[in-house]
Structure 1
């Protein structure tokens, strides 16, 4: 898992980044200073095995760089040794003078991944679930396809750093299939099926379609690798049946990030903190749409655990990271040390007569993670950075993470 091949290839490809020549006159919403890094992806994690393909990154300005923030896009086109296809594109686009922000998350997965049941106490190994007596919790393998289209359009409020806007979010899970392994009792239900049946959802295909109300405060100097100030995002999502959702529901997302500079002369020396909450406000969500570790927009949360390791009706997550340069005067190489923690609630159940309602609540248990990483800045002006982290969680969980740009 600790291959240095991605770094060798990345240094070679850094030379093909395309930079458009600056001009003295800027036209609003035209592309300036465009750069593209076609980063090959050779990595591994427990959920996907070895991954091969491309992880391209692009950055540009949609107006005068003096008064317009840098836009960015990160993509993936990957095939894995577990016969998975992963295609995705995530972007933050700032139009001229930052008057408009476009926030997008598009994905198509043909994939597989283990699930472990709901709550922070779900064990590694499969066993009968004491909170749901006819089903398993612990590791259970799943195949599924995911089509996702999330896009939000936000307008700036006067000259303030605040934005308001609307979005549309669509998730279609299909061909969902659980499969039995040695030691699994076929008379007990999988967590996914037991939950969906209890809430009235299909076990093989379901749709979540809704509109979002978004409030954003954007103070960061460079979104992909901030050195100072802060960012906040409040999103209220309404998923009505008349827009295509299998059941009506609503959720609330709270996301706050702050960057404390430790040295005015070396702004790369800083403490970054991230707090996030994702809550089910009303109705029911299908199992795979419940808040889960590693399923944030850029998939950066929960280092130390595989994506989907913890899941619940509500989630609270926190992380702190010290980022520092490794060279006295240059910023090419950097390092990081980080800690994180997550807590999840289970699901209230009413279909087992005589069985106590012992579902897990937020903060009954917190799962910590910690680790360290290396940073290689391949474009100082755009702060385009290759990040490699190794993280540890509880009970033998760990992982190697290779990405483009900072985790948050």
Structure 2
């Protein structure tokens, strides 16, 4: 079944719209830089593959190829241990709103999905850069019926002499709880460029969770205990507030960077006057660095990622606590299900080695390793305990206009956690 989903994803990629006025070129060969080994080598993606094998394709009568679009339409077939198998419709695209030399690519994605775990998820997201990068807008709109796996609070380290409620929260047996809830969310950030690559801005977010319930074989759940400890209504919650942001970037592409830096620092402030149950102040840091290891093979890259979320005051709702897969793009912690570890504060780092397999970049590979730590309300401190994971994967060049890759990863962690992770674009 896993292989069938990948084949279907590749097949329907051929059905891309070729007339939209997004990132386009007249000669789709995309000649690589003139090097001793790859003079006149051509990038080759999934659309090229299906054009070549299409038995109904008409022979070209001119030397000028049709304009290709930087927007991809496809069934969103996916799998990872957190959501099960997923089917849906997705569009991913990129557009330059100014000269490529001094304007970053603006990207967007929209999708409607359903999974075998009963999750229904629809979203619209964008990351927009105006001409000359004078302004940057990031935002998303979400509506979902969620089914989230829950393994308690903390990093999975045993406690000394725990009380009954602490045993449930720490969950040393790694019992699985399942949280069901509906979510409606909106956020928007606006950045102003101060210096080349440096932006400062602010934003607002609203996230409403309703009809929260937990199914398990146990009488009480970590969500209910945490609600009692911190005086939260455990059946519904508003996560509303303001953001202040500082961003610095020099990376050459948001989908698959070869070189450069991406840094985003966000102060999130849950505010009761905007509807949150409690005020809370969380500092989020996102740092990514890319080293290009070869000019001849540009996709030969070493990449580093660090993501952190640190409590500066106040109290977050249980389902809003930072943890595995709780980064803005839900890509951290390959090897574990989303939310497997969570804490009041959370720290995550990952290193990935990306290497070419075919000189036309149609096929490449990765190996990666990550580590995470979290604190809790039972005495475990941040950086006291660590949990590792690692894996390897293949990359299929899906759209050479935007460097969009189909990512096929297998990752494994501790406590028997392992699984196949499929998706578009790199994890970071």
Tell me which interval the TM-score lies in, with the shorter structure as reference length. Answer: 0.7 to 0.9
2:370 is aligned to 340
Aligned to 1:132, the other structure's residue is in SS state helix
2:44 is aligned to none
Structure 1 residues 203 and 372: alpha-carbon distance in aligned structure 2, compared to 1, 3 A threshold: same
Which range is displaced more, 57-66 or 361-370? 57-66
C-alpha contact 2:157 2:385 (8 A) present in aligned 1 = no
* Structure 1 unaligned blocks of 5 or more: 25-31, 348-357
2:361 corresponds to which of 321, 325, 331: 331
Give the Cα separation in 1 of the matches to 2:7 and 2:412: 22
1:162 pairs with 2:189: no
C-alpha contact 2:280 2:314 (8 A) present in aligned 1 = yes
Q: What is the CA deviation profile of residues 204-238 of structure 1, one whole-angstrom value per residue up to 9, with x for unaligned ones?
A: 00111111110000111111111001011111111
C-alpha contact 2:93 2:402 (8 A) present in aligned 1 = no
C-alpha contact 1:10 1:40 (8 A) present in aligned 2 = no
The correspondence of residues 6-21 of structure 1 with structure 2, limited to 5 A, is 6-14=6-14, 16-18=16-18, 20=21
Give the Cα separation in 2 of the matches to 1:122 and 1:196: 22
1:311 corresponds to which of 334, 337, 342: 342
1:120 is aligned to 155
Aligned to 2:335, the other structure's residue is in SS state coil
Aligned to 1:113, the other structure's residue is in SS state strand
Q: What is the CA deviation profile of residues 270-323 of structure 1, one whole-angstrom value per residue up to 9, with x for unaligned ones?
A: 100001110111111100111021121111100000111111100000000011
Give the Cα separation in 2 of the matches to 1:396 and 1:345: 22
Q: What is the CA deviation profile of residues 314-347 of structure 1, one whole-angstrom value per residue up to 9, with x for unaligned ones?
A: 00000000111111x2111111000001111112
The correspondence of residues 231-380 of structure 1 with structure 2, limited to 5 A, is 231-327=262-358, 329-347=359-377, 358-380=378-400
C-alpha contact 1:131 1:359 (8 A) present in aligned 2 = no
Aligned length: 380
C-alpha contact 2:142 2:186 (8 A) present in aligned 1 = yes
1:388 corresponds to which of 408, 415, 419: 408
1:79 corresponds to which of 111, 114, 139: 114
Q: What is the CA deviation profile of residues 135-179 of structure 1, one whole-angstrom value per residue up to 9, with x for unaligned ones?
A: 453321111111221211101004x21000011111211110012
1:2 is aligned to 2
Q: TM-score, normalised by structure 2?
A: 0.84
C-alpha contact 1:331 1:380 (8 A) present in aligned 2 = no
Give the Cα separation in 2 of the matches to 1:95 and 1:78: 30
